[in-house]
Amino acid sequence: MKILLDTDLGNDIDDAITLSYLLKQPDCELLGITTVTPGAVDRAKLASAVCADLGRTVPIRPGAELPLAGEPLQEPPFSAAELLSRWPHETAFPSGAVPFLAEAILAHPGEVTLIAIGPLTNVGRLLRDHPETASQLKSLVLMGGRFFTGGETAEWNIRNDPAAAAIVFAAPIPHLRAVGLDVTRSVFLTEQDFRHRFGGLLLDFSGPWFARRDRVTFHDPLAAATLFEPLCGYQKGSITVEEDGTTKFTADPAGTHEVAQSVAVQAFFDHYFEIA
């Protein structure tokens, strides 16, 4: 499966876990990685370190640091300089994340799945500036939104750039799958369990996260893994987004949007650790 990954790797550890999973997944041909939100170059360096640790060379392009409208909510990557001092990585990257995505999609019409596990600024720019890519994608899979349970605020990835999310959900993509917070939040490991199961670079990269949290929730790895295993139940329909980033889902059997509504938690972990 030809995959492009758009990520805000460098804050929550689950982005790095996702990249590691995709690099180890034998059914994944990772065509490239783009980074998004403040500190995009440092995020690219961190992604490069994950690739280098696994002996892989993958094209990486730093992308947009600012949302389409308003100020960014995301802070730069936690402790990037300290982490990068311990792990080999590339230090310079070509620019042009959006043209890179467009070129890769158009070079393989109907074959590329774009996995978006951060705010949707790069993807929104892609679909705005290169609208022809929407119909040429095989699929867009994203971690984002909250669809079946309420909350005080909109989900983080969508809330960081609602204008970009609105473009994405309105685009004529043949298949769009959203794996939302109301499903992903049930897939987690405590710090103790994580330290028992993980080592090396991922354990090191998790340090700044555990300084702030006592668990790792596998939001992004779940979204990626649904491409390779039937881990979730889905409902078809259409997604719209409000100005504050709140997502609205309308069920429709003929809809082109597919929203996860349940997850087999143990099946996910069995699959993840079989690959990773």
Task: For the chain, report the end-to-end CA distance as a whole number of angstroms.
Answer: 18
What would the 3-class secondary structure string for 109-177 be? Answer: CCCEEEEECCCCHHHHHHHHHCCHHHHHCCEEEEECCCCCCCCCCCCHHHHHCHHHHHHHHHCCCCCEE
Q: Do residues 155 and 247 touch, judged by C-beta distance below 8 A? A: yes
Residue in 6, 8, 42, 53 annotated catalytic: 8
Positive or negative torsion for Cα 214, 23, 87, 33: negative
Residue 129 a catalytic site member: no
Active site residues: 8
